[in-house]
Amino acid sequence: MVSPFRRHQQMVRGLKSAGPNHVSHRAAPAEPKPDSEAGLEYATLRVVLHDNIRTMHDIDSVEARNPMKAEFAKTFADWIEGVLTAGEQGLAAQDEILVTNMIWALDYRDYDYALRIGAHVIKFGLVLPERFKRTPACFLAESFADTALEQHELISLEQLLHVLALVDGADMPDQAKAKLHKAIGRAYDRKAEDLDPAADNAPAGGKAAFVTEALVHLNRARVLDPGVGVKTDIKRLDAQLKKLTPTGAPTE
Among 1, 4, 129, residue whose Cα is nearest residue 78: 4
The model's pTM is 0.85
Q: Which residues of 72-93 are buried (b: 16+ CB within 10 A; e: fewer)?
A: bbebbbbbbbbbbebbeeebbb
Domain boundaries, the chain: 1-133, 134-252
| pLDDT band of 24, cuts 50, 70, 90 | very low
- In angstroms, the CA 48 to CA 132 distance is 21
pLDDT attached to residue 21 = 42
Backbone angles phi, psi at 92, to 5 degrees: -160, 160
- Residues 188-201 have pLDDT tens digits of 999 999 987 767 66
| Rg value, the chain, Cα | 21
DSSP string, 162-173: HHHHHTTT----
What residue type is assigned to position 31 of the chain?
A: E
**Per-residue pLDDT tens for 110-151?**
999 999 999 999 999 999 999 999 999 999 999 999 999 999
Residue type, position 75, single letter: T
What is the SS3 assignment for 106?
helix
